Amino acid sequence: MPRPVSRRAVFVGAASLGAAVLGLTLSGCQSNASTLVPEDGERVSPSGQFTAEFASEGAGSDARVHPVIKDAGGTIVWADDERYLVRAHPLGVAWQSDEDVLWLLSSDIGTARVVQSNGVWVKDWEWTTLPPDIEALRG
């Protein structure tokens, strides 16, 4: 009799597949793995004051993720209001190398940045130029 599969295992598998597709979509470069926020980990901002990670909802083919930014104490200071269906909308998330700016990269729904404005983190779709390190991630 087959063993039941946990929801976490199904989510991790779906998220890994989404990340693999995203990695191929954004760029063939293996250095992306050390820059992009992993589904089951976090990346520290350039200032060291914040971390970015994925929060998840659901399991299996309905698994949805959304990026969050936490302060040094672990408090969520920004959470994306969009929920990304892993299998349909792979999402790459990376800190800009020289500034606390979080970039959300998707080949299907576009690229946005998350910046602090008057002490509040906001998602901005109206950017004009990608920094070179983020451009390299997009390929």
pTM: 0.74
Split at pLDDT 50, 70, 90, the class of 62 is: confident
Residue 95 belongs to some domain of the structure = yes
Domain containing 65: what range?
7-138
Residue 2 belongs to some domain of the structure = no
Amino acid making up residue 100: D
Residue 51 belongs to some domain of the structure = yes
Answer yes or no: are the C-beta atoms of 134 and 104 closer than 8 Å.
no
Residue 13 belongs to some domain of the structure = yes
Q: Which residues contact 56 (CB under 8 A, 6 or more apart)?
A: 11, 15, 39, 63, 64, 65
Number of domains in the chain: 1
Split at pLDDT 50, 70, 90, the class of 5 is: very low
Residue 1 belongs to some domain of the structure = no
Split at pLDDT 50, 70, 90, the class of 110 is: confident
What integer pLDDT is reported at residue 78 of this predicted model?
98
What integer pLDDT is reported at residue 139 of this predicted model?
65
Split at pLDDT 50, 70, 90, the class of 85 is: confident
Residue 127 belongs to some domain of the structure = yes
Split at pLDDT 50, 70, 90, the class of 94 is: very high
Instruction: Supply 98's token pair.
Output: 């020289």
Residue 60 belongs to some domain of the structure = yes
pLDDT tens figures, 24-49:
334 333 344 458 898 888 999 999 99
- Report the DSSP beta bridge partners of residue 79: 68
CA–CA gap between residue 91 and residue 85 (Å, rounded): 9
Answer yes or no: are the C-beta atoms of 106 and 113 closer than 8 Å.
no
**Residues composing the chain:** 139
Residue 105 belongs to some domain of the structure = yes
